[in-house]
Chains A and B, each alone.
Chain A
Amino acid sequence: MDAVEAVVTQIQGLSSSAGDLTRLHTILKQAEESLHSESVRLFSALDQLDPSKHSLGFLYILEACSSGPVTKERASTLVLAISRFISSCAAEQIRLAPEKFISVCKRFKDQVLLLEAPIRGVAPMLTAIRKLQVSSEYLTTLHPDFLLLCLQAKSYKTGLSVLHDDISEVDQPRDLFLYCYYGGMICIGQKHFRKALELLHNVVTAPMSTVNAIAVEAYKKYILVFLILHGHFSTNLPKYTSSVAQRNLKNFCSPYIELANSYGTGKITELEAYVQANREKFESDNNLGLVNQVVSSMYKRNIQRLTQTYLTLSLQDIANTVQLNSAKEAEMHVLQMIQDGEIFATINQKDGMVRFHEDPEQYKSCEMIEHIDSSIQRIMMLSRKLTAMDEHISCDPLYLAKAGRERPRFDLDDYESVPQKFNI
Chain B
Amino acid sequence: MDGDDDHSAKMIDEEIYANGVGEEEKRKRPIISGEQLDIEAYASLYTGRTKITRLLFIADHCQNNQTMQLEALRMAYDEIKKGENTQLFREVVQKIDGRLGPDYSMDSAWCATVDRRAEQKKEKLENELNAYRTNLIKESIRMGYNDFGDFYYAHGALGDAFKHYVRTRDYCTTSKHIIHMCMSAILVSIEMGQFTHVTSYVSKAEQSQEVVDPIVIAKLRCAAGLALLEAKKYKLAARKFLETNPELGNNYNEVIAPQDVATYGGLCALASFDRTELKNKVIDNLNFRNFLELVPEVRELINDFYSSRYASCLDYLGNLKANLLLDIHLHDHVDTLYDQIRNKALIQYTHPFVSVDLQMMANAFKTSISGLQKELEALITDNQIQARIDSHNKILYARHADQRNATFQRVLQTGGEFDRDVRSMLLRANLIKHDFNLRASSRKL
Contacts and interface: CB of A to CB of B under 8 A. Distances in A.
Contact of B412 (A358, A372, A402): A372
A379 B429 CA distance: 18
B431 to A, nearest CB: 5
Contacts of A362: 405
B432 to A, nearest CB: 5
Nearest to B394: A312
Interface in B396-444: 397, 402, 404-405, 408, 411-412, 415-416, 418-420, 422-437, 440
B381 interface: yes
A382 B420 CA distance: 10
Contacts of B377: 309-310
Interface string A340-374: 00000000000101001011011100001001100
A311 B415 contact: no
Contacts of A171: 434
Interface string A188-214: 000000000010011001110000000
B388 interface: yes
Contacts of B412: 371-372, 375
7 contacts: A170-B427, A170-B431, A202-B427, A207-B432, A240-B425, A353-B392, A379-B418
A378 B53 CA distance: 70
B45 interface: no
B93 interface: no
Contact of A389 (B381, B388, B391, B426): B426
A375 B411 CA distance: 10
A105 to B, nearest CB: 22
B428 A207 contact: yes
Contact of A378 (B405, B419, B428, B433): B419
B392 to A, nearest CB: 4
A166 B423 contact: yes
B66 interface: no
A138 B191 CA distance: 70
A382 B422 contact: yes
A217 interface: no
A67 interface: no
Interface in A365-424: 368, 371-372, 375-376, 378-379, 382-383, 385-386, 389, 393, 398-399, 402
Contact of B423 (A168, A313, A353): A168
B390 interface: yes
A166 B339 CA distance: 51
B430 A169 contact: yes
Contacts of A385: 422, 426
B405 A363 contact: yes
A45 interface: no
Contacts of B392: 312-314, 351, 353
B19 interface: no
Contacts of B437: 398
